Amino acid sequence: MAVVILSTGIKVVWNAQDEWNRAEALSATDPIRAMEHYEHVIHWHVPFLSLSDDAAEKMWAYAEDREQQGDTEQALNTYRVLRGAFYAARSLYTPGKDWIIRCNEKIAALMAAKPAYSEAERKKSFEERKSGNLELLSREKSPHAEWALLTEIGFWGWMTCVFIFIFKAFTPTGAFLARPALYWAGGWGVCYALWVWGLFRV
C-alpha cells in the first residue's frame, strides 16, 4: 500500500513538473498554449508545493496583460480558466480559494463592463451589475465531502487490488491461481465502480 501511495505521489509531482516545463518553454513564443499547460499544472495540484501557485501567477499576469492591452475577451477567458482549474482540482477541500476570489472579482467587473443584454440590465449601474455577477460567482458549492471520500477510497482501493493481484494471482514459477485472482479482480471491480460513481457525484 505504501508503495502504491508513494508511486502515485511521484507520478503526480512528475506530471505537474512536466507540464510546468512545457509551459515555460512555450511562454515566450506561444502564450496561449502555455496557458493550457499552466492550467494542467493546477489540475495536478500537489499540496505543500508551490507549482500550482506559480502557474496561477503566470496565468494571472497574462490575463492582466491582455486586459491592459484591451483584449478583454482573452483576459476574461483566462480568468475563467484559472478559476475553473482550481475547482477541477478540488476533492475533500478546494485549493486556491484566494485565487478563486480574485478571479471572481475580475470576472464580475469585466462582465459588468460589457454592453447590457436587456432593458433591465441597462437600467442598472456598473456597480450594481458587478455586484450581481459577483453574487452569482460566489455561490459555488463546496465539494460533497462524503462523495469525495468515497472517490478517494475507490481510487486507492482499485490501485491496491491491482498491486496485490500481481503478487497473489501468480506463483513464483508463473502459475496462475484462479481463486485469489478472482477475489482480487472482483475487489478491483467494486473499488473501480465506487471511484467512478464518486467522481460523478462530487
Indicate if 74 and 128 belong to the same structural domain. Answer: yes
Q: Are residues 103 and 180 located together in one domain of the fold?
A: no
Q: Judge if 128 and 29 occupy the same domain.
A: yes
Would you state the pLDDT for residue 141? 67
Alpha-helical runs (H) found in the chain: 2-26, 31-43, 51-68, 72-88, 97-113, 119-122, 126-137, 145-168, 178-201
Q: Which has more pLDDT, 145 or 116? A: 116
Same domain, 119 and 81: yes
Q: Residues 106, 184: one domain?
A: no
Is 155 found in the same domain as 56? no
Share of the chain above pLDDT 70, in %: 92
132 and 90 housed in the same domain: yes
Judge whether 51 and 41 are in contact, CB under 8 Å: yes
Mean of the per-residue pLDDT values for the chain?
A: 89
Structure confidence by residue, pLDDT tens digits, 42-53: 999 988 889 999
Q: What total number of domains does the chain contain? A: 2
Cβ burial of 192 (10 Å; 0-12, 13-18, 19+) is middle
Question: Tell me, what amino acid is at 2?
Answer: A
Q: Residue 169: give the domain boundaries.
A: 145-201
Q: In this structure, are residues 113 and 126 in contact, taking their beta carbons and an 8 Å threshold?
A: yes
Same domain assignment for residues 122 and 152: no
pTM metric for this prediction: 0.72
| Of 87, 104, 137, the domain-final residue | 137
Dist. CA 61–CA 67, nearest whole Å: 10
Q: Are residues 85 and 120 in the same domain?
A: yes
Tell me how crowded residue 191 is: count the other CB atoms within 10 A of its CB. 20
Quote the pLDDT of residue 10. 79
Q: State whether the Cα torsion 62-67-70-74 is positive or negative.
A: positive
Position 69 scores a pLDDT of: 96
Q: Quote the pLDDT of residue 7.
A: 64
36 with 80, same domain: the answer is: yes
Query: What is the C-alpha to C-alpha distance for residues 126 and 153, in angstroms, rounded to an integer?
Result: 47
Q: With contact defined as beta carbons under 8 Å apart, do 125 and 165 qualify?
A: no
pLDDT in tens, 56-112: 999 999 999 999 999 999 999 999 999 999 998 887 788 999 999 999 999 999 999
Higher pLDDT, 117 or 95: 95
> Left, alpha or beta for 171 (phi > 0: left; psi -120 to 50: alpha)?
beta
